[in-house]
Amino acid sequence: MKTIKTLSLAVSLAFAANTSAADIDITIGHVDSQDWTISKKGAATQVFKNIVEAESGGRIAVNIYPSGQLGGETELLQSTQEGMLTMTMVSGAYSKLCKEANVLEIPYLFPSAPVAWEVLDGEFGQQLNEQCLKQTGLRNLAYGETGFRHFTNSKREIKSPDDLKGLKIRVMTTPLYVELLKSLGAEPTPIAFPEVPAALTTGVIDGQENPVSVISANKFYELQEYITLDGHVYGTDFLLMNDDFYQGLSDADRAIIDRAAQVAGTVGRAVQQVNSAEGLETLGKKGMKITSLTAEQQKQFRDKTQPAVIKWLEGTVDSKWIDGALQAVETATK
């Protein structure tokens, strides 16, 4: 199956290159819809395409392959590393290639989106970019946003860590999320996302965790009664380019790429913010019980989860990255 997908990718990209009149062809793959009104990756990549093609006077063509046409995030990363794709925009899968990126998912690290933006666009975010570039050969041109993740369930309102005890909560197949849920006394259940609706319907799991936009778009309000806006993890998008390709560009073309990427990341964040706000309104209209935590209540969750996850991270990355993330957030918050 992997061989077939690789062959299909090669044929698709060869066709795109052969039909382009541009001097330089850029190919971008991602797993989201290309409808910019509902997709932060769709919006970001479309804006990137428009700016690059306009500013280069058509010398650079950008071809977008959305909706997982060229594979899931792991496959897209591999294809970009190998140079079959020029670029990709991914979220959680990137931390499997660059372990240091896991520090961005320390529970309750970011108190707000603006603080996250300042940290990611600042010195710490750039240091992380350089570290990951060395490991992966992928240059992160801009940070986007997938949003804060929240708990939903069908059993009871969650106001404290004790309310999660014994609940079977679906998490991504990532050790960090397993540690997070275990520290709260829940039963983490790692399953693939497409299986979540069936698992909720049959009672295999009691709940799940995702950004509001994902919860709304997938109509989880039909299967879940309660949502707690705890924001346990802030999800990040990475707009990545094969660095060999980037280094082969002229200074002028790299400047175009850099400018377009910064705008693209900002647009992706804005679209995600809009979809989160509209999604929350939808959840309320559909009858979900929405619980917002006070600062003191959220502190209870943070005190339970951060030590456990940080202990796990210390076995994975140099502690300077953990300390750096925490310090950067403290500085940005002030």
Per-residue pLDDT, 18: 54
Per-residue pLDDT, 13: 60
Give the number of residues written for the chain: 334
Does the 22-331 domain belong in CATH 3.30.350.10?
no
Write the CA distances from 136 to 96, 241, 251, 292, integer angstroms. Answer: 10, 11, 23, 39
Q: Which residues contact 307 (CB under 8 A, 6 or more apart)?
A: 183
Q: What are the structural domain ranges in the chain?
A: 22-331
Tokens 């931390």 -> residue: 95
Strand ranges, E, within 154-274: 168-171, 187-190, 207-211, 226-235, 238-242
The whole-angstrom separation of Cα 207 and Cα 152 is 5
pTM for the model stands at: 0.92
pLDDT means per 10 residues, the chain with 334 residues, are 52 56 95 94 98 98 97 96 98 95 98 98 98 98 97 98 98 92 97 94 97 96 98 98 98 98 98 97 98 96 97 97 98 96
Cα 271 vs. chain centroid, distance in angstroms? 14
Q: How far apart are the first and last CA of the chain?
A: 51
Per-residue pLDDT, 4: 46
